[in-house]
Amino acid sequence: MGFIDIITNKFKKPEGRVEGVEKVTGNGKFAAEYQVKNVCYSVLVNSTVPSGKIKSILVDKAKEVEGVIDIITHLHKPMVPGMATEDKIKESKFGLPVFHTDKIFFKGQPIAMVIAETLEDATFAASLVEAEYQKDSFIIEFESAKESIPLKPEGKERGSEDAWQNLPFIIDEQYNIKADIHNPMEMHATIAHWTGNDTLRLYDKNQGVNNVQKIIGKLFGLPEKNIEVFSEFVGGGFGSGLRVWPHVLASIMAAKQVNRPVKLMLTRPQMFAGTGYRPASWQRLKIGSDKEGNLLGVLHQAKNGTSLYENFNDGITRVTRLIYKLPNLKTEAAIVPLNLSTPTWMRGPGDCTGVFALESAVDELSYKLKMDPVELRLKNISLQKHPDSGLPWSTHFLDEGLKRGAKMIGWDARKPKPASTIEGDWYIGYGMAVGMWNAGRREAKAAIIFHKDGSMKVQTAMTDIGTGTGTGMQNIAHEITGISKDKISIELGNSALPPAPSQGGSTGLSSVSGAVFEVSNQLKLKLAEYASAIDPGFKSIPADQIILTESKIALKNNATVSVSYNELFEKNSLDEVRVEVSSKPGDEQKKFAFCSSSAHFCKVRVNKRTGKVKVDKLAVVGDGGKIINSQAAANQMSGAAVGGIGMALMEENQIDAKLGSLIANDLAGYHFAVNADAPIIEVDFINKPDPNINPSGAKGLGEVGIIGTAPAIANAIYNAIGLRMRDLPITPDKIL
């Protein structure tokens, strides 16, 4: 049995999540759990062919089922005004025009939706809907389809290719990664409720309520303010909730059609073709160095799968432009249309894939150079400036991360010669890799409502997808105001609250922490302003001199000045005090480059007889600027590491090229890492604030935790058995 041991004792004592009790007691409501009066249930019917046209849909038998209210098809549905016509789908950016086309792009595409009084009625009736298709040929196999798609330049070329072709140390290899599926615990679900002719309420699983509001507004021709979106609890997203998928549109159409609230929850097999995935990819990476180990050139080529109706580029080569100095660099990419649903961002999108090739190649080069892989990295990481923009990094501590990580794993025990540590049938190996991510920050708003009893509520529309955003907000509000945590409640995931960006791309806490930081200071200033009407000692006092206690506002350096909240509220005739701020990037983005980084180390054992790989230990040092909540941050890193083990060793969205189907479309057929696969995971943080990113100094950690995990494992496998694994997942058949 594996277990997860998170080292957090260096930091403050870990504290519970603000939403923890609600979650574990079942009081927190996930999208499908809201009780809406008069609700009816719906079930999607999916195409059974991967390509062609719908000739006819037979719904008569299904309609006879007791409790069936209506059945939506492309011939019978409310029109969605913003939905793209067939020739404009790609430009529309709205994705599949569900029920607005008779064309079939992939197997599993929704072709009908049964609405009934109960889920059972709807499920049974859906099984009776039959379609006839005019079948067409299809392409579903990425490996063969990619061949004919030409590469195009991606990003500006640095230096020249000729400059390094004759270097003494060159590695030139290809890497293949199978498609991965997000597989959150909570299935995607929507309850759509038209509360009036042109007012809509949605309880929906997503990673950004304001994004949903915007997209639905455009598609249905509604002002955004007429759409309420609730996403108060989310059971994991990993990127799958960053888009508005066809099932959301289908439930809104259905609710219009039957003039009642409609609930739709995808089944897990429907999720496999309905809410994105990390696309299959191919890469070629050629890297060269001089004999001292100075990396002088890289050629990185990448292709990823996409659907026939949308162009999704995963950005695989971006990370190669980020980490090393590389005076000569050329990156090229292409996307490969397939009869599959559209892929999307999945944890560490692009970088996770790209770094597998890059960090495997750097490792391979280290053996050729007979140089320690950590040394090789330390020599080449661009620590001073972003290699592309030339802007100085605001902060960048990957060198320190590498040194700490090496100690944590016991790097000294590594024998450079592969296959030199054997325990019975097991070969032991050590490996490492780095991860990096362009750290971002976007505009976010936050509000505080303060009450006479010294309690307050902090609000933002941002959705907490399980990352600990709400807890982080509470921590910051407490730190700035001094109000005790048990008196600070948090409200999130509701479009009526101050708008915030989606939670994605490791920008969630980085964006909202700035807003909470500023609004907490604003609260102090606002209360001081009211207090100054009673005690002039509060006039023109800066926020950092103001203290909020249980019962009164006071000054740090002058004990004689204070006003009780009771008096403050009474004299100013207040019911509550509300402050709201918007916090957004300024021109610092023009002066500095920002990154989060990670150094991953691991120890594996490989059984030469069975091909089994067991990760014994993972150590990861993350740099996400200031750590707001060490427990939530460590959870991010260790959860991502387990995801990375899945990517490295197990996960593949297998397809049947003959039938045009996904083979593994449930939890039995699709393997990912579970607790028993998880090793000891040690997490440490640099924990130094980035003074320029935002007022809180915190940067995102959601992506970097996974980015370097898979290559660290592959590199450890090489060290263990001397076999270079360039295709993921590394299943036992590849070892044997």
Nearer to ligand MOS, 308 or 620 (CB): 620
What's the min distance (Å) between Cβ of 108 and ligand MOS? Answer: 22
What's the min distance (Å) between Cβ of 32 and ligand MOS? Answer: 20
Q: Amino acid letter at 250?
A: A
Nearer to ligand MOS, 510 or 522 (CB): 510
Rounded distance, CA 490 to CA 487, Å? 10
What's the min distance (Å) between Cβ of 397 and ligand MOS? Answer: 22
Nearer to ligand MOS, 510 or 665 (CB): 510
Cβ neighbourhood burial of 9 (10 Å; 0-12, 13-18, 19+): exposed
Q: What residues contact 187, with CB distance under 8 A and at least 6 apart?
A: 32, 205, 265, 266, 267, 268, 271
Nearer to ligand MOS, 444 or 546 (CB): 444
What's the min distance (Å) between Cβ of 596 and ligand MOS? Answer: 12
What backbone torsions phi and psi does residue 553 show, to the nearest 5 degrees?
Answer: -95, 135
Rounded distance, CA 326 to CA 316, Å? 17
Nearer to ligand MOS, 245 or 569 (CB): 245
What's the min distance (Å) between Cβ of 640 and ligand MOS? Answer: 11
Cβ-contact 475, 487 below 8 angstroms: no
What's the min distance (Å) between Cβ of 207 and ligand MOS? Answer: 6
What's the min distance (Å) between Cβ of 567 and ligand MOS? Answer: 47
Helix or strand or coil: residue 571?
Answer: helix
Angle subtended at Cα 502 by Cα 498 and Cα 505, rounded to the nearest 5 degrees? 140
Ranges assigned E (strand) in 290-401: 295-307, 328-338
Nearer to ligand MOS, 105 or 238 (CB): 238
Residue recorded with tokens 């295709």: 727
- Residue 217: closest CA among 254, 248, 262: 248
- Residue 409: closest CA among 433, 379, 437, 444: 433
Nearer to ligand MOS, 158 or 347 (CB): 347
- Residue 284: closest CA among 366, 137, 440, 175: 175
The string of DSSP letters for 100-130 reads S--EE-STT-EEEEEEESSHHHHHHHHHH-E
- Residue 42: closest CA among 63, 68, 61: 68
Nearer to ligand MOS, 110 or 700 (CB): 700
Nearer to ligand MOS, 237 or 493 (CB): 237
Q: What residues contact 11, with CB distance under 8 A and at least 6 apart?
A: 627, 630, 685, 687
Cβ-contact 175, 165 below 8 angstroms: no
Nearest-10 Cα torsion for 719, 722, 724, 727: -90
Nearer to ligand MOS, 279 or 297 (CB): 279
Nearer to ligand MOS, 203 or 345 (CB): 345
Q: Amino acid letter at 573?
A: S
What's the min distance (Å) between Cβ of 30 and ligand MOS? Answer: 17
What backbone torsions phi and psi does residue 174 show, to the nearest 5 degrees?
Answer: -120, 150
Chain residue whose CB lies nearest ligand MOS: 239
What's the min distance (Å) between Cβ of 601 and ligand MOS? Answer: 24
* Residues that bind ligand MOS in the complex, under the rule CB under 6 A: 207, 237-239, 242, 345-347, 349, 504-505, 702
Nearer to ligand MOS, 246 or 702 (CB): 702
What's the min distance (Å) between Cβ of 344 and ligand MOS? Answer: 8
Instruction: Compute and round to an integer the Cα radius of gyration of the chain.
Output: 27
What's the min distance (Å) between Cβ of 104 and ligand MOS? Answer: 28
- Residue 274: closest CA among 88, 73, 44, 33: 44
What's the min distance (Å) between Cβ of 346 and ligand MOS? Answer: 6
